[in-house]
């Protein structure tokens, strides 16, 4: 019995150490798209689910990692803040201020940015303050809107779906007409990137016409099962969610699902380090030139 207790104690210590380690680091992941419609090679860094996390003083470690990738622009797939009454917005804003001085930023909202606007009786003027500070940096959240980047042959859409689609325990019923109704129809003339925070509706995003979907929300499943590699729990309180993190494909559409950079509610990660994704687009015949 003493041996079993000793072994259990050692296992608990190891798990606790891994939890601390994984909760305070991030890894860099990369994905490359080759498309004949790309006019000029380009590179972006994807930020999602920061939830006010800081890596070093003033997020200096995260900033250094981003700069080290030499991106042409920054993409945000939501939840840089945490919707909590009187929560501090400064970690996210400070990071964005620094980045906006160097790169264009295309910001798609997540459910937390959406929530603070929906419930002012809970969050007060948090949404107005956040939007005001974003505007000062030159950032306008892409709320069911799009931006064309003709120099690259890319159009970026930002989808903010209704709160109904963040149901607990099950996936809501999203009819195909819903996306075309809020976003319009995707153009086939350029490479279409969709910033869509919730990955549960990837089949609908693919049917709508996205070429590349960028999502977050699931935090990699909080913890991942070693060797099997599956995420355990989604924010919708579903065990072993289908879309937990990584690369998924539906027909010709690819989804890059980031495990995010921070945590909330369940404030730890286990066998599940945070992720900073680097995305690269090129035409197969046009190599990228480093600056």
Tally DSSP H helices, then E strands, for the chain: 8, 11
For the segment 57-75, what is each residue's pLDDT rounded down to a tens digit?
999 999 999 999 999 999 9
Report the alpha-carbon distance of residue 287 to residue 108 in Å, rounded: 29
pTM of the model as a whole: 0.93
Q: Residue 291: is its pLDDT beyond 50?
A: no
For the segment 113-167, what is each residue's pLDDT rounded down to a tens digit?
999 999 999 999 999 999 999 999 999 999 999 999 999 999 999 999 999 999 8
Sheet holding 274-282, edge to edge: 26-34, 274-282, 42-47, 73-76, 105-107
């Amino acid at each position: 019995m003493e041996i079993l207790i000793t072994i259990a104690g050692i296992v608990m210590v190891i798990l606790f150490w891994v939890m601390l380690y994984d909760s305070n680091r991030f890894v860099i992941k990369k994905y490359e798209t080759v498309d004949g419609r790309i006019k000029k090679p380009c590179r972006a860094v994807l930020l999602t689910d920061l939830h006010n996390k800081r890596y070093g003083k003033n997020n200096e470690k995260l900033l250094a990692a981003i700069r080290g990738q030499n991106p042409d622009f920054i993409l945000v797939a939501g939840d840089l803040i945490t919707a909590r009454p009187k929560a501090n917005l400064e970690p996210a804003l400070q990071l964005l201020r620094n980045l906006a001085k160097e790169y264009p930023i295309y910001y798609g909202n997540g459910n937390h940015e959406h929530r603070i606007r929906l419930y002012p009786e809970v969050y007060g003027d948090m949404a107005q303050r956040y939007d005001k500070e974003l505007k000062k940096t030159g950032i306008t959240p892409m709320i069911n809107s799009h931006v064309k980047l003709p120099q690259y042959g890319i159009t970026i859409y930002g989808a903010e779906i209704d709160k109904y689609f963040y149901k607990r325990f099950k996936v809501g019923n999203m009819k195909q007409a819903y996306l075309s109704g809020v976003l319009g129809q995707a153009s086939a003339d350029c490479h279409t990137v969709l910033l869509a925070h919730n990955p549960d509706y990837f089949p609908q995003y693919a049917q709508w016409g996205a070429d590349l979907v960028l999502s977050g929300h699931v935090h990699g499943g909080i913890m991942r099962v070693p060797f099997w590699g599956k995420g355990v729990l989604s924010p919708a309180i579903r065990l072993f969610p289908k879309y937990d993190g990584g690369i998924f494909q539906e027909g010709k559409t690819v989804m890059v699902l980031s495990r995010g950079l921070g945590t909330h509610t369940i404030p730890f990660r286990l066998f599940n380090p945070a992720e900073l994704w680097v995305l690269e687009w090129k035409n197969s015949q046009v190599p990228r030139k480093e600056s």
